[in-house]
């Protein structure tokens, strides 16, 4: 019932006490810690971390329409509508007609939104650094590289059901 040939050691066997499924447990723990750490920083934006990520994506990645934006954030389009509504009401973003498709709408940041994002990024950056206290610079860089690689792999391995496939449509 075990792996029969000389298969590579599973992640559950690389560390003592690392059980099958613990990968998800640790990830959930870290993600909760992250959200707790940045919650105060992103409080001025509606929708907690989601709202911050939306604003950041709009400014830095310039998605062509709401679908691309929602796909990147892993948010369903029906949920995204309400979240954008809140940010529009806070005068942080606005909807404009997409240049190539009259059905679609492009989300752009207002001057106020860009200014707020710049301020929040300083705080979020500090919160993330504090979260990583205990890891050396080398370890932090290793972690950043590994999770980038892994999320890219997940992106490519599940082209049908992944939450960021539409990022190719940016611009």
List binders of DNA among 6-45 (CB under 7 A).
Answer: none
Phi-psi region for residue 55, left (φ > 0), alpha (ψ -120 to 50) or beta?
alpha
Closest-CA residue to 104 (of 57, 59, 64)? 64
Site map for DNA, 91-130, x if CB under 7 A?
----x--x--xxxxxx------------------------
C-beta atoms surrounding 12 within 10 Å: 13
Buried b (16+ CB within 10 A) or exposed e, 113-124: bbebbeebbeeb
DSSP state of 96: E
Shortest distance (Å) from residue 64 CB to DNA: 8
The yes or no reply on residue 19 touching its own copies (CB under 8 A) is yes
If the CB atoms of residues 9 and 168 are measured against its own copies, the closer one turns out to be 9
Site map for its own copies, 128-157, x if CB under 8 A?
xx-xxxxx-x-xxxxxxxxxxxxx-xxx-x
Shortest distance (Å) from residue 75 CB to DNA: 7
The yes or no reply on residue 121 touching its own copies (CB under 8 A) is yes
How many chain residues are in contact with its own copies, going by CB under 8 A?
72
d(CA 55, CA 171): 16
Q: At 14, list the tokens.
A: 């690389």
The yes or no reply on residue 18 touching its own copies (CB under 8 A) is yes
Shortest distance (Å) from residue 123 CB to its own copies: 9
């Amino acid at each position: 019932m075990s792996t029969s040939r000389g298969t590579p050691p599973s992640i559950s066997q690389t560390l003592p006490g690392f059980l099958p499924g613990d990968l998800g447990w640790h990830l959930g723990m870290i993600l909760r810690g992250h959200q707790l750490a940045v919650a105060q920083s992103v409080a001025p934006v509606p929708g907690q971390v989601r709202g911050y990520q939306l604003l950041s994506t709009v400014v830095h990645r310039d998605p062509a329409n709401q679908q691309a934006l929602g796909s990147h954030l892993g948010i369903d389009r029906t949920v995204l509508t309400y979240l954008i509504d809140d940010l529009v009401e806070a005068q942080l973003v606005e909807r404009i007609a997409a240049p190539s498709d009259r059905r679609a709408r492009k989300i752009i940041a207002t001057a106020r939104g860009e200014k707020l994002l710049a301020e929040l990024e300083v705080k979020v950056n500090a919160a993330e650094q504090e979260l990583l206290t205990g890891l050396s610079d080398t370890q932090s860089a290793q972690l950043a590289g590994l999770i980038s690689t892994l999320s890219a792999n997940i992106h490519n391995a599940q082209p049908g059901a992944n939450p960021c496939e539409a990022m190719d449509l940016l611009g």
